[in-house]
Amino acid sequence: MIAYAKHLPTGATPASDTRTWGVEAAGRWRAARTPVVFAPCAGSWALGVLVAVSLVLILRNEAPVRPVGTAWRAYPAAVLLVALPLWYRYLPGAAAVSAALLAVESAVAFPGLPASDAAGRTGLALVCLMSLWALAGALLRLRARRRQARLALAAAGPARFPMPQWLPTGHDRRGNARILSGGSLCLLAAGVLLDGILGDLGGEAPYDAVGQQRVALALLVVGSTLLARGWTADAAARRLHGAPQPALVVGVRMAPSGHFWLHPDADTPAGRPLIAYRLRRQDRQGGGRLLARGPEGRFARGLHDIDARAEPFEAVLYGAPRDGAEIVIEYAVHDGSGMTAAVVAAPLLPRRRHGLGPWTPAGVSYRETP
């Protein structure tokens, strides 16, 4: 277990006047979140169910027509519809655009359905309504991101600082694997669709390319999501190096799920968890600069090690924290007879359930407590 130091020793912060986030400022930041009715995770699951229901209603009651080849006009809308739940959770910008297009497309197509096709009309109406709901939720989430970034910058003050010298390897490679895998899937989907289009155009008899359409749809939905997530993650990591960043002193506590939650500080039990990140091995860099030295147990008061699951430890946060942003956190760990700096770089997640209960400061070394 990592021996997290409760507080940072003197000189560990980038400047002597680095501000603590504080309960009041952090409370305003927390209140700027997206309303719970538009929560990304729960909303994506709800959209997934509604998309499945709408597709069943639309396809089951499609009136039989004389075969004239594969239908292609509605295919882009079908891709956007199936991808909407994933994009709503991970890509609010893409979700807003696709939801607007789907709402318009379904509203235009609705009058063309015969009155006898009640299920089909119900399915299109459902697509229109859930697209409008997704559009509102995505726009509110984008607005919340901007508000949270402004509030974090105001809390940090005008001072800006460079990143720690040593950063984890995961930060430098952020998004690369998703970009490669997503791009490969999209290229494969393009090949499958091209095969279906050529078969449809080249034959004299009507050609059924529905099989190619279905395979390409699955590849496009997964591939586009991975590609866009990789690109946005890479852009968020690069944004930290475009200019010096704000810094805040915060608290960090580990949840039972393994996520680490930011707190307003490490000393106020009334402070509520704010936002979480998931720590992977490649996102942590230990063995950094020496912060303090001395025989174990003889550090100044408040520098003892703690159980990070029971109470938060103090850390310096670089960057403007908001949903989807990349942040860098530097904290102190006990290492033999000294204290060294450790650095974590990770994207912030739109989680809401933390599973953390109340806490009180232990005030003594966790390792030395029976």
Q: How is the chain split among helix, strand and coil, in percent rounded to 5?
A: 45, 15, 40
Tokens of 217: 């749809």
Tokens of 173: 């490679």
Enumerate the H helices of the chain as residue ranges: 23-31, 40-60, 75-90, 92-109, 118-156, 169-172, 176-202, 210-239
**Rounded to whole angstroms, how far apart are CA atoms 254 and 278?**
10
The answer for residues whose C-beta is within 8 angstroms of residue 347's C-beta and 6 or more apart is 174, 233, 236, 277, 324, 325, 326, 327
pLDDT digits over 213-238, tens only?
Answer: 899 999 999 999 999 999 999 999 99
Residue type, 120: G
Write out the chain's pLDDT in tens, 370 residues: 788 899 998 888 888 788 999 999 999 999 999 999 999 999 999 999 999 999 998 887 555 554 555 777 888 999 999 999 999 999 999 999 999 999 999 998 888 777 777 888 888 999 999 999 999 999 999 999 999 999 999 999 999 999 988 899 999 999 999 999 999 999 999 999 988 888 777 666 667 778 888 999 999 999 999 999 999 999 999 999 989 999 999 999 999 999 999 999 999 999 999 999 999 999 998 877 777 776 655 666 788 889 999 999 999 999 999 999 999 999 999 887 788 889 999 999 999 889 999 999 988 888 777 6
3-state secondary structure of 152: helix
**Where do the domains of the chain lie?**
4-19+243-349, 32-156, 166-239
The structure's pTM equals 0.88
pLDDT digits over 288-321, tens only?
Answer: 777 777 665 566 678 888 999 999 999 999 999 9
Among residues 314, 359, 352, 275, the alpha carbon closest in space to that of 29 is found at 275
Q: Rg for the chain (alpha carbons), in Å?
A: 26
- 164: Cα separation from own chain's centroid: 23
Bridge partners of residue 315, in order along the sequence: 250, 331
